[in-house]
Structure 1
Amino acid sequence: MSQFRAAIFPVTPYQQNCSILWCEATKKGAIIDPGGEVGRLLAAVAENGITVEKIFLTHGHLDHASGANELRRRTGVPIEGPHQDDTFLLEALEENRKTRGFEKAEACTPDRFLNDGDTVSFGEATLQVVHCPGHTPGHVVFYDTEAKIAFCGDVLFKGSIGRTDFPRGNYMTLIASITEKLWPLGNDMRFVPGHGPMSSFGDERRSNPFVSDGALRNPF
Structure 2
Amino acid sequence: MSEAVVTVTADAEQFTCNAYLLLGETPTLVDAGTMPGVVDVVAEHTDTLDRVVLTHQHSDHIGQLDAVLDAFDADLYAYAEHPRRTTELNDGDEVAMGDESFEVVYTPGHAADHVSFVSETRLFSGDVVVYNDGAYDDGSFGRTDMAGQSRERLIASLKSLLERLPDSVTSMYAGHGDPFHVADHDESVRAVVERALSRAERRQPKYPEN
**TM > 0.5:** yes
The 4+ residue runs of structure 1 with deviation greater than 3 A are 122-125
Q: Percent sequence identity over matched residues?
A: 27
The alignment status of 1:128 with 2:97, answered yes or no, reads no
Letter in 1 for 2:130: F
Match of 2:191 among 202, 206, 212: 202
**1:9/1:123 Cα in 2 relative to 1: closer, same or farther (>3 Å)?**
closer
Match of 1:119 among 88, 94, 103: 94
C-alpha deviations, 1:115-173, integer Å up to 9, x for none?
0011222565422211111111110111212xx21111110012311011233211100
> What's the counterpart of residue 20 of structure 2?
19
Distance in 2 (alpha carbons) for counterparts of 1:45 and 1:52: 8
Mean CA deviation greater in 132-141 or 68-77: 68-77
> What's the counterpart of residue 8 of structure 1?
7
Gaps of 5+ in 1: 91-107
Counterparts of residues 102-181 of structure 1 (less than 5 Å): 108-122=83-97, 125-145=100-120, 148-158=121-131, 159-181=139-161
> What's the counterpart of residue 193 of structure 1?
174
Distance in 2 (alpha carbons) for counterparts of 1:169 and 1:122: 28
Question: Once superposed, what is the RMSD of the aligned Cα atoms?
Answer: 2.7
Secondary structure of the corresponding residue to residue 16 of structure 1: coil
Secondary structure of the corresponding residue to residue 87 of structure 2: coil
Secondary structure of the corresponding residue to residue 71 of structure 2: helix
**Per-residue deviation at 1:50?**
4.4
Distance in 2 (alpha carbons) for counterparts of 1:75 and 1:154: 26
> What's the counterpart of residue 103 of structure 1?
none
Q: Is the 8 A contact 1:186 1:202 kept in 2?
A: no
Distance in 2 (alpha carbons) for counterparts of 1:111 and 1:14: 28
> What's the counterpart of residue 105 of structure 1?
none
Distance in 2 (alpha carbons) for counterparts of 1:156 and 1:63: 16
Counterparts of residues 47-66 of structure 1 (less than 5 Å): 47-66=44-63
Q: Is the 8 A contact 2:155 2:200 kept in 1?
A: no
Number of matched pairs? 185
Distance in 2 (alpha carbons) for counterparts of 1:4 and 1:125: 14
Distance in 2 (alpha carbons) for counterparts of 1:78 and 1:215: 35
> What's the counterpart of residue 40 of structure 2?
43
Secondary structure of the corresponding residue to residue 55 of structure 1: strand
- Would you tell me which structure has more strand in proportion to its own residues? 1
C-alpha deviations, 1:85-121, integer Å up to 9, x for none?
xx4xx6xxxxxxxxxxxxxxxxx44222210011222
Distance in 2 (alpha carbons) for counterparts of 1:219 and 1:136: 17
Letter in 2 for 1:46: A
Gaps of 5+ in 2: 132-138, 181-188, 205-210
> What's the counterpart of residue 29 of structure 1?
27
Secondary structure of the corresponding residue to residue 49 of structure 2: strand
C-alpha deviations, 1:56-103, integer Å up to 9, x for none?
11001011012112211221111101x22xx4xx6xxxxxxxxxxxxx
**Per-residue deviation at 1:188?**
5.2
Distance in 2 (alpha carbons) for counterparts of 1:192 and 1:62: 19
Q: Is the 8 A contact 2:32 2:61 kept in 1?
A: yes
Letter in 2 for 1:7: V
Letter in 2 for 1:141: S
Q: Is the 8 A contact 1:191 1:201 kept in 2?
A: no
Match of 2:71 among 68, 74, 80: 74
